Amino acid sequence: MQNIKNIIFDYGNVIFEIDFKRTQEALSQLGITNSTEFFAHKSHHNLFNDFETGAISPAQFRTGIREAANNDQLTDEEIDGAWNSLLIGVPPGIHEVLLKVKQTYRTFLLSNNNETHYNYIVDYLKREFDMPDNSSLFEKAYYSQQMFLRKPNVEIFEQVLKENNLNPKETLFIDDSPQHIEGAKLAGLNTLLMTKHPRELEQVLIDHHIL
């Protein structure tokens, strides 16, 4: 890590704790019988890819959930509640860790996200931390639904590198998804697979001589 000048952070389960099983269980309760295959950490139905790349609206996403559940009586609130159930929150002290990292490195956020989750997270940050969004924690935050691209596609990494004039050999990407790590490697990035709970982010950075 001696040559690292820039760090690109994933959000879910690197900074913000999420639990896929919660949404799998919630989708099952909505009537989706194969929820563990329909929505999983490593692969999922194209409905989620479309939502994360801004190809469909929240209304179209809800329609897709109703079709998968074979229940057109599901309300928007029921679907949004199930979808947002995986979002747990930011452990204490993590924002301070990110600000500490930002003092030494150029830092960025690169998150596969969607309009419904993004709105929930912004509301959460306002409510719990009195923050308007994530912008103060990074030089720039990138979200898949605003870029019309998603990880692990190499193009999303190349766009972040190009827009910020980053040398991939001097840039570290931290993510909890092995498939995203592989995409980053194709773009020439240094990578670190996050296998710890987000509450341990500072220790992970210390262990890898980043802090």
Pair 142, 161: CB distance under 8 Å: no
Cβ–Cβ < 8 Å for 90, 137: no
DSSP-derived secondary structure for 54-73 = TSS-HHHHHHHHHHHHT-TT
pLDDT in tens, 80-102: 999 999 999 999 999 999 999 99
Each residue of 141-159: b (16+ CB within 10 Å) or e?
A: bbbbbebebbbbbbebbbb
Task: With beta carbons less than 8 A apart as the criterion, state whether 211 and 205 touch.
Answer: yes
SS3 (DSSP) at 89: strand
Q: What is the DSSP letter of 207?
A: H
Q: What pLDDT band is residue 42 in, cutting at 50, 70 and 90?
A: low
Tell whether the model's pLDDT for residue 61 goes beyond 80: yes
**Residue 189 · residue 164 · CB < 8 Å:** no
- Of the pLDDT bands very low, low, confident and very high (cuts 50, 70, 90), residue 36 is confident
What's the pLDDT at 37?
Answer: 84
Q: State the chain's mean pLDDT as an integer.
A: 95
CA dist 129 and 148 (Å) reads: 29
158 with 188: CB under 8 angstroms? no
The helix/strand/coil state of 110 is strand
